[in-house]
Structure 1
Amino acid sequence: MNLRSLQWKEILLLPAAGWTLTLVIVHQSIIASSSYFLTRLIEAFQSGRDFSPFLLAYLAAMLLPYIPGCASLLTLQLWINQAHRRFSNRLSESTYGFIEKHRDNSLRETIESVYSRNSFIALQDYLTFIYQFVSLILNSTLSMIVLSLLLPGNLIVGYTISILGATTLILLLRRRVYLRSTQAENTFISYSEALSQIWDNSVLGNRYNFDLWKQHRDRLASQYYSRSNRLQLLKQSGNLTLAFLSLIPTVYLILSAIYRHGVESALIAAIIVNLTRVFHILNSLSGLVYQILDFTAMNARVQVLLNAERRFMEPTALPEAPQGQVLVNDSPVHQYESVVKVIRNSASGRFTIRGANGSGKSTLLHVLKKALSSEAILVPSHHGKLQWRTTSANQSTGQRAVSQLLEISSHPEVRYLLLDEWDANLDAANTHAVDEILAQFSENRVVIEIRH
């Protein structure tokens, strides 16, 4: 099974999905039967026959739908939660260990925005849409089947004409809605990333940084609001057109049937009794077609989520050699692979990497992490989001560094410790404390460090 199919399977083919759709079918079937029982009730009443069985059945058809209706909303929430759990677990597992992607800032922004801010809302909206979409289809289809048993056949013709006209409009609008939805969703990701930068740019009070951030935020805001407005305008224009396509043919046929010469009074009564239901169905048809248009937008949002994982499958290779002069324990590095071999053959020791900015020091750590895999822990220079067991928010930078290294030292399976400028922003006391820990660590394991 390819990646795309597997991704959709883990969203749609879940236990709660089956229960939700089953309950929706039961719910809509009971609702549709109410028109049948109401019509038979009126016919029995007019003819003087016993109408009590139809009355009881009609009352039951009005009351019982609440049970499967409420239950389906509960299972829908279970479906949403299961889908999000599967998605979040899958994305974290799929991206694990792709060290060569770590410095791709564009991909980082997309993944963090998708994972932390967009995924639950997008999946919730998408699955709720499917729930409403299936409900509308069943409501319209089952109701028309019931009414076709009760009303003149030409009303079905009108309904069919409405469906064909609506389908034609869908085919004309679908591509444009999809493109505009994708543009709006991608712009929203960039906009939300800009919004997430409020803390440093605003709270620090640096006017220069604040003004630059504001300009960047406002530019992305204008792009997103403009694209979302154009998307909504396109969808609502289509919805208005669909309303006319849905209503006009059937309205004409209903009026023709009522005013036709010699029509039976029982038929007129049946048409009038079910007129509200017919227009409700036609309104549902208009809503259904609008939902189909909206499905394109919903699908585009979910595709943005799934494409984030697919981008990790695109091949990316780490460089084989440094861009400038890089020294390891004062020896020049010509090929990264030679350093990997030296480190692999070392049971203990301390290796210090030095070089100018942009020469390839951090890249060497990434190459080593890729080669050493789970035997190594890489701590980048900016690692505030890494999860630790012992770190407290009340600790200073130095205290956090000490507690993190002690935590790493307590895990014997970690044979290699890769540190990127660990001594940056540390005072003399904490630098000495960290240095002592690293010295002890390197007595029976390996430390590879970039020094500030």
Structure 2
Amino acid sequence: MDSDWRMVAAFGFTITQQVLLALSTYYIAQAGLALGDGRVEQVFVFVTLFFLLALLGYVASSAASLFTNLASNAAWHRYSFSTLVKSTASLRYASDKNRKAISQWLGGEALSTLGYACEFYIGFVSVSLNVALTLLVFYISIGWQIALVMAASLTVSLLFVIVLRHRIERSAGEMQRRKLEALLTVEWTWGLAMFGSRAMRQQGFSELDDKTGRYFAEVNRYVALEQAVACLPIIVATVSVMLLLEYSSLFTLASMGALVAVLPRSLQVFGSVHALSIYLSQFYLVRAKLRNLEAFSSTLDDYNMSLTSLQAVSVCETDSTRIILPLALIQRLSSPEIGGGRYTVTGKNGSGKSTFLKLIKQGLPDALLMTPDAKFSGKGEGLSTGQLRIQEVENALSSGAPILLLDEWDANLDEDNSNAIDSLLDKAAKQIIIVEVRHVRQGRAVSSL
């Protein structure tokens, strides 16, 4: 993110904003000093500079927010593209479980984490500069005492966060894991609630309630820890400043005038100290979440796709009914002049028929693999299952792929729709290669090759 030009621009406007606000604080303090010294003619000049610099600061803040949003969008786009490239590089990851996990992760955790991370780093820089520059102005205008008290309270907060760092990082991983579990349970619950029995419906909602409850419990534990870290420096700073004002004799009339002038800014800096304490605790949280994003692809299920697992699979050449060994078909398909033809993959359930199609696709990138989960058309509203399947097959045939691999295209189809697609495939097989796994076995092989 830090190398993205949008993020660099956001940091630049944020730094500009805080410098302008610090200067505005300096001039309002100077107005208080001038008023305490009786230099009334200079008060108006200082107040005017205060308003002008504050206005420019808020304009810079708006520009920083705009570029932060642009950087967030660009970061999610890059991450999503990279994750999809990695997860689709091999058919070993082609499972319904992985598909759902990737969809939920990119649309849920990745989107929210990257958006928050961009805002977090900008906010962290903004608040850190706000506190540092405001304390510098306090030191110049009022004296070192209040600045020292504020700095000491922040040091206490920083030490507290360092001690709790590992607990915060563990909490980040738990929140992401439990959130993904809850999101994946939503689809399962919908299926049970919509189509299951009354008991299954209750089971679905109970499971969802349990998963979401665990996620929110982890979030609540982290928030409680975060607020404990945030409140500690405020308590220390507030008590110290009150004691300093009560018992210290170091303030002159002019410095007291400057202090009164910057009282609104003093309250604001207390809020900034509170916010900075939260940022300090969230620093490790955000860092851990970003690391988890980087490692997500390595957590996907990896399925065995070796040829040795295909011993129970055979291939039937549809026209001649000859049996062809899987390896022989792969070698035939690798030929530069393969022409057309239609082949049916046979074998018992679990023998590796779908894996065989994936192996062909893995070795021949120009082939098109159509599975029950693969959709090559975004349209289909109002169509029946059969009409939608016909549309999908027509789209696949019109893609120009020289090899079409179909995994149980006839599942859940009536005879008319099945015959219609069968006719389409017979016609297409004169020009391209079609390798299919049938849900309903068609014919019997009588010879071998």
1:40-62, CA deviations, whole angstroms, 9 ceiling, x for partnerless residues?
Answer: 22333344433132232122233
2:404 to 417, 420, 423: 417
Match of 1:159 among 150, 154, 162: 150
Tell me which of 274, 287, 311 is aligned to 2:262. Answer: 274
What SS class does the counterpart of residue 424 from structure 1 fall into?
coil
Give 1:237-252 correspondences, 5 Å limit.
237-252=228-243
Task: Report deviation, 1:333.
Answer: 7.3
Verify the 8 A CA contact 2:20 2:53 in the aligned structure 1. yes
Question: 2 CA distance for matches of 1:404 and 1:108?
Answer: 19
Q: 3-state SS of the aligned residue for 1:350?
A: strand
Please list the CA deviations of residues 398-430 of structure 1 after superposition, one character each: whole Å capped at 9, or x if unmatched: 222222222222233x11111111111111111
Q: Partners in 2 of 1:241 and 1:55 — Cα distance?
A: 34
In the alignment, what sits opposite 1:356? 348
CA contact (8 A) 2:376 2:396 kept: no
| Distance in structure 2 (CA, Å) of the matches to 1:272 and 1:404 | 74
Which one of 380, 392, 395 corresponds to residue 392 of structure 1? 380
Q: Do the aligned partners of 2:7 and 2:68 also contact (CA within 8 Å) in 1?
A: yes
User: Quick check: 1:215 aligned with 2:206?
Assistant: yes
Q: Cα gap change, 1:116/1:159 in structure 2, threshold over 3 Å: closer, same or farther?
A: closer
Residue 132 of structure 1 deviates from its aligned partner by 1.9
In the superposition, relative to structure 1, how do residues 64 and 422 fare at CA in structure 2: closer, same or farther (>3 Å)? Answer: same
3-state DSSP of counterpart to 2:364: helix
Letter in 2 for 1:284: S
3-state SS of the aligned residue for 1:322?
Answer: helix
Structure 1 equivalent of residue 446 of structure 2: none
Q: What is the CA–CA distance in structure 2 between the aligned matches of 1:311 and 1:72, rounded to whole Å?
A: 35
Cα drift, residue 209 of structure 1: 3.3
2:13 and 2:64 in contact (8 A); partners too? yes
**1:181 alignment partner, one of 169, 172, 175:** 172
User: In structure 2, how many angstroms separate the alpha carbons of the residues matched to 1:332 and 1:325?
Assistant: 13
1:56 alignment partner, SS class: helix
For residues 234-256 of structure 1, the C-alpha deviation after alignment (integer angstroms, 9 at most, x for no partner) is: 22222233332443444443444
The yes-or-no answer on 1:150 pairing with 2:141 is: yes
Shift of 1:185: 1.5
1:60 aligns with 2:48: no
* Gapped regions of structure 1 (runs ≥ 5): 1-10
Query: Which secondary structure state, in structure 2, belongs to the residue aligned with residue 418 of structure 1?
Result: strand
Who is 2:442 aligned against? none
- SS of residue in 1 equivalent to 2:314: strand
Q: 2:294 aligns with which of 302, 306, 309?
A: 306
Correspondence for 1:369 among 333, 346, 361:
361
- In structure 1, what is the Cα distance between the partners aligned to 2:302 and 2:346? 29
Question: Offset of 1:276 from its aligned partner?
Answer: 4.1
> Quick one: distance in 2 between partners of 1:402 and 1:168?
65
Query: SS of the counterpart of 2:89?
Result: coil
User: 1:22 pairs with 12, 33, 39, which one?
Assistant: 12
The letter for the 2-side match of 1:432 is: N
- Supply the RMSD in Å over aligned alpha carbons: 2.5
* Equivalences for residues 25-40 of structure 1 within 5 A: 25-40=15-30
> Alpha-carbon deviation of 1:191?
0.4
1:199 pairs, out of 185, 190, 198, with: 190
Deviates more, 1:220-229 or 1:201-210: 201-210
Please say if residues 162 and 247 of structure 1, whose CA atoms lie closer than 8 Å, have aligned partners that are also in contact. no
Match of 2:331 among 319, 333, 341: 341
Q: Which residue of 1 aligns with 2:99?
A: 108
Classify the secondary structure of the residue corresponding to 2:411.
coil
Q: Is the 8 A contact 1:94 1:309 kept in 2?
A: yes
- Aligned pair count reads 431
Residue 332 of structure 1: CA displacement?
A: 6.7
What is aligned with 2:35?
45
Q: Which residue of 1 aligns with 2:281?
A: 293
Contact 1:349 1:444 in 2 (8 A): yes
| TM-score, normalising length: structure 2 | 0.88
Q: Distance in 1 between matches of 2:303 and 2:196?
A: 39
Cα separation, 2, equivalents of 1:40 and 1:218: 58
1:247 and 1:264, CA in 2 relative to 1: closer, same or farther beyond 3 A?
Answer: closer
- Contact kept in structure 2, 1:162 and 1:249, CA below 8 Å: no
Residues 295 and 46 of structure 1, relative CA distance in 2, 3 Å threshold:
closer
Structure 1's 333 and 357: CA in aligned 2 closer, same or farther, altered over 3 A? farther
**Distance (Å, rounded) in 2 between the aligned partners of 1:210 and 1:297:** 36
Does 2:436 correspond to 1:446?
Answer: no
For 1:451 and 1:254, how far apart are their aligned partners in 2? 86
Greater Cα offset, 400-409 or 433-442 = 400-409
Q: Contact 1:30–1:61 at 8 Å: present in 2 too?
A: yes
Return the TM-score normalized by structure 1. 0.87
Cα distance in structure 2, aligned partners of 1:212 and 1:340:
46
- The residue matched to 2:95 in structure 1 has which SS? coil
Task: State the shift of 1:103 in Å.
Answer: 2.4
What displacement does 1:192 show? 0.9
